[in-house]
Chains A and B, each alone.
Chain A
Amino acid sequence: MPEDPKPPAARSTNTGTPEKPVAGANPVSATPPAAGAPPAPAKAAAAAPAKPAAPAKPAGPVPTLWEAALVDRLKRRFGSGIEAWTYLGQHYLQADGAVVAELLQILRDEEKFDYCVDVTALHYPKRERPFDLVWILYSFPNNQRVRVKAQFADGAGAPSVVKLWPTTNWLEREVFDMFGIRFEGHPDLKRILLPDGWKGHPLRKDYGILQQDSEWVQINLGIESGQ
């Protein structure tokens, strides 16, 4: 997430209904600055892939602190283990990898986030802990969404939440398949979309777009290459 401070955009956050289109935002002025002032409209705009340095980032939205009763309760319990942010009207909790399991448990049991929408990951290879795990949660009683994020090192096991939300069974398997993150406590962690014997985890950034497990392809498909 962006941590570099940018000119504040002073966005109002509506805590109750995070996913609703932000009504206050002026759509026109908030358009991103990429093509700040392209000269002659038609031709130039089509030809110039925004090389004319567009460093002037006027009113880019920035994450703001999320303040809510829910956050206060969590802060009381976890202290500095979590940070709560709002970006474009959506709330997320940045949690420490050590407390995230407990945090998710509390969110389900006490804060009524009874539906785990999705589990996914992001790979930042240059970081010390290169993986961001993201849990997207939804609460039916409160019609509220929240995302939980935590960083994990390569090879470090992440906590499995299949016991809390059975839906995460396949979702965690997919994250394991695509990123190679191991979920500790998962009942049956194995590949789901790729074949069992496949080598490599395609959604890692160091896995090329044309890369494949050629050994597997040759043995199992009897062809030189799948492309």
Chain B
Amino acid sequence: MNDPNSAVSPLDLDAKESTFLDANELILNMGPQHPATHGVLRVILKLDGEKVLGLECIIGYLHRGVEKIAENRTYAMFNPYVDRMDYVAAVSNGLGYCEAVEKLLNVEAPPRANYIRVILAELNRIASHQLWLGTHALDIGAMTPLFYTFRDREEILKIFEKYCGARLTTHAFRIGGCLYETYDGFEQDVRNFLDFVGPKINEYEELLTTNRIWVRRTRDVGVISGKDCIALGVTGPVLRASGVKWDLRKAQPYAAYKKFDFEIPTGTNGDTYDRYLVRMAEMRQSIRIIRQAVDGLPSGPIMAKVSKVIKPPVGEIYHSIEAPKGELGYFIASDGSTQPYRVRVRPPSFVNLQALDLMCKDQLVADVIAVIGTLDIVLGEVDR
């Protein structure tokens, strides 16, 4: 990047660009109510004909003040709230929060709890990627994958429902471990699902990977280099598709990830097509991780010794995990009372969305939709 500021330039709506014909310049408002923005995102586009000169995101429509709420709840009471940020990957949110508080308490969840956590978090990663694929393909014009992915995602939600009674906002974990022991037949259900979903992923790929329309709509669209990703703090599959082999599950392992053998899929071009391939490969790696976790599921307690009233000692902690969308971090400050002094959530969607401007520059209007889809944002997490 030559001038780092150019990556996220403020959009000066009054300034005239000195293009060939000023009359071609157009300010176009997209959203906040727009089916392709995956929620309530408003984008102001500055166009020269079909070409995007720049854009500005207006966010905050879903702001609920989660961080303020946290300061007025006990540690355990805040736990369900985090599920409502990235509501398509609630398990990951809960995992990050519980681990952060555990770290602050200097407790470690028992091995069995960690295995259960990994299984559910990876199932959730598959579910999140399936939802992403369905909606992303729908945005671009491929209607069929949506039905396929939602049909298959249902099986994951059924496992969640049987495990903890909820399908989306699961509140599956507690500070110190898991509340629920696995139900009878859990392992068999998970195994059956893995056998079922593997061929299904091939099915999605058959629909899209070599589909000419899909390739034309995604290849060389929304290109971002690894260097720009790092400068802009973009993490997750977007970073990996740009060729940076970095995954917190490997770089700074948490839960039980150290014990499993898996690879970090990366791309080379950093375009929408590569991001698609990376996420498809990630689903396969998740299957691999879950299979190892189910096979090696240890017995033993699922809850560490944590007092009923959680009162961490005075101090601050930052803990982050690899959520399906990127680095999800929690910065928690304790003043020694039962309520956190401050909880800061570092949301991957919020930070990744910042790259939209750079990725859409000089692309066509129609590609903005593709790029929003490929960033895989959830507005509940962007706005918190």
Write the residues of chain A forming the contact surface with B, with a CB cutoff of 8 angstroms: 1-2, 17, 19-22, 25, 27-28, 30-32, 34-35, 38, 45-46, 49-50, 54, 57, 60-61, 63, 87-88, 90, 92, 114-118, 120, 122-123, 134, 136, 140, 143, 145, 147, 162-171, 178, 187-188, 191-195, 202-203, 207, 209
B106 touches A25 (CB 8 A): yes
| A residues less than 8 Å from B5 (CB atoms) | 162-163, 166, 187
Those 7 A-B pairs whose CB atoms lie nearest each other, nearest first: A167-B233, A188-B10, A35-B307, A193-B60, A34-B311, A2-B314, A50-B309
Q: A31-B105, A136-B331, A203-B68 are in contact. Are A195 and B314 (CB under 8 A)?
A: no
| B residues less than 8 Å from A170 (CB atoms) | 8, 350-351, 354
Q: How far is the CA of A129 from the CA of B244 in the complex (A)?
A: 40
| B residues less than 8 Å from A50 (CB atoms) | 307, 309, 311, 338
What string of 1s and 0s marks CB contacts (under 8 Å) between B301-319 and chain A? 0001111111111111111
A114 touches B67 (CB 8 A): no
What string of 1s and 0s marks CB contacts (under 8 Å) between B222-249 and chain A? 0000000011111000000000101000
Q: A61-B106, A136-B318, A202-B65 are in contact. Are A49 and B231 (CB under 8 A)?
A: no
Minimum Cβ distance to chain A for residue B31 (Å): 16
Which among B133-141, B279-287, B340-348 touches the partner chain? B340-348
| A residues less than 8 Å from B252 (CB atoms) | 17, 19-20, 143, 145
Q: For the complex, is B198 an interface residue (Cβ under 8 Å from A)? A: no
Q: How far is the CA of A114 from the CA of B230 in the complex (A)?
A: 7
Write the residues of chain B forming the contact surface with A, with a CB cutoff of 8 angstroms: 1, 4-5, 7-10, 59-60, 63, 65, 67-69, 71-72, 103-108, 230-234, 244, 246, 251-254, 304-320, 327, 329, 331, 333, 338, 341-342, 344, 346, 350-351, 354, 383-384
Minimum Cβ distance to chain A for residue B300 (Å): 13
Q: How far is the CA of A90 from the CA of B317 in the complex (A)?
A: 7
Minimum Cβ distance to chain A for residue B165 (Å): 21
Would you list 13 pairs from A and B whose C-beta atoms are within 8 A, ordered by A residue?
A17-B252, A21-B108, A31-B106, A50-B311, A114-B231, A117-B318, A118-B329, A134-B331, A167-B234, A170-B354, A187-B5, A192-B59, A203-B68
Q: Nearest B residue to A171 by beta-carbon distance?
A: B351
A166 touches B383 (CB 8 A): no
B315 touches A2 (CB 8 A): yes
Q: How far is the CA of A194 from the CA of B68 in the complex (A)?
A: 13
A90 touches B318 (CB 8 A): yes
| B residues less than 8 Å from A25 (CB atoms) | 106, 108
Q: How far is the CA of A194 from the CA of B67 in the complex (A)?
A: 14
B107 touches A27 (CB 8 A): yes
Q: A25-B106, A187-B10, A193-B383 are in contact. Are A122 and B305 (CB under 8 A)?
A: no
Q: Nearest B residue to A147 by beta-carbon distance?
A: B318
Beyond the given pairs A34-B310, A193-B384, 11 more chain A to chain B contacts, judged by CB atoms under 8 angstroms and listed by A's residue number, are: A28-B304, A32-B105, A32-B313, A46-B308, A50-B338, A87-B315, A134-B344, A147-B318, A170-B354, A193-B60, A203-B67
B59 touches A88 (CB 8 A): no
Q: How far is the CA of A25 from the CA of B383 in the complex (A)?
A: 37
Q: How far is the CA of A74 from the CA of B35 in the complex (A)?
A: 51
Q: How far is the CA of A49 from the CA of B76 in the complex (A)?
A: 13
| B residues less than 8 Å from A145 (CB atoms) | 252, 318
Q: How far is the CA of A156 from the CA of B315 in the complex (A)?
A: 25
Residue from B60, B65, B103 within 8 A of A88 (CB atoms): B103
Q: How far is the CA of A20 from the CA of B250 in the complex (A)?
A: 11
Minimum Cβ distance to chain A for residue B10 (Å): 3
Q: Nearest B residue to A210 by beta-carbon distance?
A: B72
Q: How far is the CA of A166 from the CA of B232 in the complex (A)?
A: 5
B231 touches A60 (CB 8 A): no
| A residues less than 8 Å from B319 (CB atoms) | 19
| A residues less than 8 Å from B351 (CB atoms) | 167, 170-171
A193 touches B63 (CB 8 A): yes
Minimum Cβ distance to chain A for residue B16 (Å): 19
Residue from B59, B68, B246, B254 within 8 A of A202 (CB atoms): B68
B318 touches A32 (CB 8 A): no
| B residues less than 8 Å from A187 (CB atoms) | 5, 9-10
| A residues less than 8 Å from B307 (CB atoms) | 31-32, 34-35, 45, 50
Q: Nearest A residue to B341 by beta-carbon distance?
A: A122
Q: How far is the CA of A92 from the CA of B351 in the complex (A)?
A: 23
Q: How far is the CA of A200 from the CA of B234 in the complex (A)?
A: 30
Residue from A1, A28, A61, A117 within 8 A of B329 (CB atoms): A117
Q: How far is the CA of A116 from the CA of B105 in the complex (A)?
A: 26
| A residues less than 8 Å from B327 (CB atoms) | 117
Q: A115-B233, A187-B10 are in contact. Are A32 and B311 (CB under 8 A)?
A: yes
| B residues less than 8 Å from A120 (CB atoms) | 331, 344, 346
Q: How far is the CA of A191 from the CA of B311 in the complex (A)?
A: 34
Most chain B C-beta atoms within 10 Å of own C-beta, residue among A17, A19, A28, A145: A19
Minimum Cβ distance to chain A for residue B251 (Å): 5
B10 touches A34 (CB 8 A): no
B108 touches A45 (CB 8 A): no
| A residues less than 8 Å from B232 (CB atoms) | 166-167
| A residues less than 8 Å from B244 (CB atoms) | 140
Q: Nearest A residue to B351 by beta-carbon distance?
A: A167
Q: Nearest A residue to B315 by beta-carbon distance?
A: A87
Residue from B7, B254, B306, B318 within 8 A of A166 (CB atoms): B7
Q: A50-B311, A162-B5 are in contact. Are A136 and B246 (CB under 8 A)?
A: no
Minimum Cβ distance to chain B for residue A133 (Å): 12
Q: How far is the CA of A20 from the CA of B248 in the complex (A)?
A: 11
